Amino acid sequence: MVEPTIINVRSSGSADATAIEASITDGLEKQGFIALNVQYLVDMEITRQTDIGRKIKAALDKGKEIDHQSTLVVDILKRIIYSGIDSHNKFLLIGFPDQIEQASVFENHCATISAIVYATAKG
């Protein structure tokens, strides 16, 4: 099995930085990377009422933030990254990890993050 190339794309959250993040993501997708918008994936798991989605929803209903569910998020990502579909092995993580602890959980249970691209308003 080939270790996947994982790039974490982040932005400062300003409108300009978000536009730059989208431009960076588009450029990397043209190079064969698959963008994984983690919030969208989590929402889909909840909507589809998968086992993981039910666990995340239960935690959210108890007032816990998704940040505390890092292992569940990593389980979603691992299933996609190692699915073997079309032999893809280059992925962009968008919206996760946000904290060092989350990055540690991801790297310990899924794959190494190869690079972090941080978009700011100044580009």
Q: d(Cα 69, Cα 51) in Å, to the nearest integer?
A: 14
pLDDT digits (tens, 9 = 90+) for 36-57: 999 999 999 999 999 999 999 9
With beta carbons less than 8 A apart as the criterion, state whether 97 and 103 touch. yes
Q: Note the pLDDT of residue 68.
A: 57
Q: Has residue 66 got a pLDDT over 80?
A: no
Share of the chain above pLDDT 90, in %: 53
Longest dimension (CA), the chain: 42
The runs of H, that is alpha helices, within 35-88 are: 38-48, 51-61, 70-81
State the CB neighbour count (10 A cutoff) for residue 91: 21
The model's pLDDT over 11-41, given as tens digits with 9 standing for 90+, comes to 877 777 778 888 888 999 999 999 999 999 9
- How sure is the predictor about 110, in pLDDT bands with cuts at 50, 70 and 90? very high
Mean pLDDT of 55-66: 85
Rounded to whole angstroms, the Cα distance separating 57 from 42 reads 10
What domains sit in the chain, N to C, each tagged with a CATH number? 5-33+41-115 (3.40.50.300)
Q: What does the block give as tokens for 93? A: 């993580």
- Distance between CA atoms of 57 and 41, rounded to whole angstroms? 13
